[in-house]
Homo-oligomer: A and B are copies of this chain.
Amino acid sequence: MVEELLKEFYQGSKKAVARIITLIENEEPEGKEILKVLYKQSGRGYIVGITGPAGAGKSTLTDALVKLMRRRDYKVGVVAVDPTSPFTGGALLGDRVRMSDLTLDPGVFIRSMASRGHLGGLSWAARDALVVLDAFGCDYILVETVGAGQSQVDVAGVADTVVLVTVPGLGDDIQAAKAGIMEIGDIFVVNKADRGDAEQVVRYLENTLEQGTKTEGWLPPVLKTVAWRGEGVDKLLEAIEKHRSFLEQSGRLEPLRKMRLKEEIIERIEKLIFTRLIKEIHMEELIEQAYSRQLDPLSVAEMLVEEIIPPTGLAGKRIKLQGRACAK
């Protein structure tokens, strides 16, 4: 099955892409196997994160951006991350039937995926889908995440360029809260700019950006768009390409991607260790002791870690490991 699927994938079958992502989503072993193969063919696509609060019109903007990219003959993949409802478990925004005219285009692949948890973090499956689309030969892969908190931080961990979309009329309190995530943006977009106080939002963003920027040498532009009628989208693509050139020509793209790889590996290690801890350590007795105040939680954790990783350290192991890795 894996071989057949990969064959279809290499022939450009969007159906194969969809099935592979589903395998990954369902945590099937075949998905993992395929991912390891496809990872080796990835690395050429450029990943753009599009994020911002609910109601900012990110879907419409993404839609318009994809259309423009198609006119320039780029192959485009889109991963749209929808928060799940805390009560029903279903997607908060319902089934996406949007962008239907694009789904017929063989040069566009669009996939809606559930967020991790209710706060909208990027699931592992969503991150892996980016690798699949990259290996599929997409020139640009857009990852669109809906607003609340964690997913916006996560998107900075996967995207080469992060577009932060906002909209007039969210109020000052909200602006202040949003300031907390401003540092992840490489490009700022005030969408629905035909509304009243768009200029004020632009000024607010520009003022805040003057106080500090994410990357030395790159002052994030603040653009205005009216996505539903395509206004300003060409400027957005221009800004994305400019940011990409900046990263490439200043030699920043490679270290940036390596840093992200390191973070990914560490996160994967944590996840694997966590899974094994949960499965293999029966902590009930220790918890009883912590609850009755005989032991404190920090001491319990320290004791357990000392058992897991002897204080003599990992240094010896490292050498062995590197030998193995190199021998591959």
Q: Decide: A325 and B300 in contact? CB cutoff 8 A.
A: yes
Q: Decide: A315 and B265 in contact? CB cutoff 8 A.
A: no
Shortest A129–chain B CB gap in Å is: 14
Per a CB cutoff under 8 Å, which of B35, B274, B298 touches A266? B274
A3 located at the interface, meaning its Cβ lies under 8 Å from any Cβ of chain B in the complex: no
**Residues of chain B lying within 8 A (CB to CB) of residue A246:** none
Q: Decide: A40 and B296 in contact? CB cutoff 8 A.
A: yes
Shortest A1–chain B CB gap in Å is: 20
Q: Decide: A273 and B305 in contact? CB cutoff 8 A.
A: yes
Q: Which A136-151 residues have a C-beta within 8 angstroms of B?
A: 146-150
For residue A316, which residue of chain B has the nearest CB? B307
Binary contact track A247-284/B, C-beta < 8 Å → 1, others 0: 00000001001100110111011111110111011110
Q: Decide: A148 and B177 in contact? CB cutoff 8 A.
A: yes
Q: Which of A212, A294, A301 has the most CB of B within 10 A?
A: A301
A12 located at the interface, meaning its Cβ lies under 8 Å from any Cβ of chain B in the complex: no
Shortest A130–chain B CB gap in Å is: 12
Q: Decide: B183 and A276 in contact? CB cutoff 8 A.
A: no
**Residues of chain B lying within 8 A (CB to CB) of residue A237:** none
Binary contact track A291-328/B, C-beta < 8 Å → 1, others 0: 10111111111111101110001110110111011101
Q: Decide: A295 and B148 in contact? CB cutoff 8 A.
A: no
For residue A83, which residue of chain B has the nearest CB? B180
**Residues of chain B lying within 8 A (CB to CB) of residue A320:** 307
For residue A153, which residue of chain B has the nearest CB? B119
Shortest A211–chain B CB gap in Å is: 5
Q: Decide: A296 and B36 in contact? CB cutoff 8 A.
A: yes
A171 to B268, CA, bound (A): 38
A5 located at the interface, meaning its Cβ lies under 8 Å from any Cβ of chain B in the complex: no
A146 to B179, CA, bound (A): 13
**Given A119-B153, A280-B313, A291-B261: A179 and B286 interface contact (C-beta under 8 Å):** no
Q: Decide: B153 and A261 in contact? CB cutoff 8 A.
A: no
Q: Decide: A325 and B303 in contact? CB cutoff 8 A.
A: yes
Q: Which A195-225 residues have a C-beta within 8 angstroms of B?
A: 208, 211-212
**Residues of chain B lying within 8 A (CB to CB) of residue A41:** 293
A289 located at the interface, meaning its Cβ lies under 8 Å from any Cβ of chain B in the complex: yes
Q: Which A9-48 residues have a C-beta within 8 angstroms of B?
A: 32, 35-36, 39-43
Pairs across A and B, CB under 8 Å, 9 listed: A39-B298, A55-B173, A119-B180, A119-B181, A257-B291, A258-B288, A261-B290, A265-B300, A273-B308
Q: Please give me the 4 A-B residue pairs with the lowest Cβ-Cβ distance, nearest first.
A: A149-B149, A55-B173, A268-B301, A39-B296
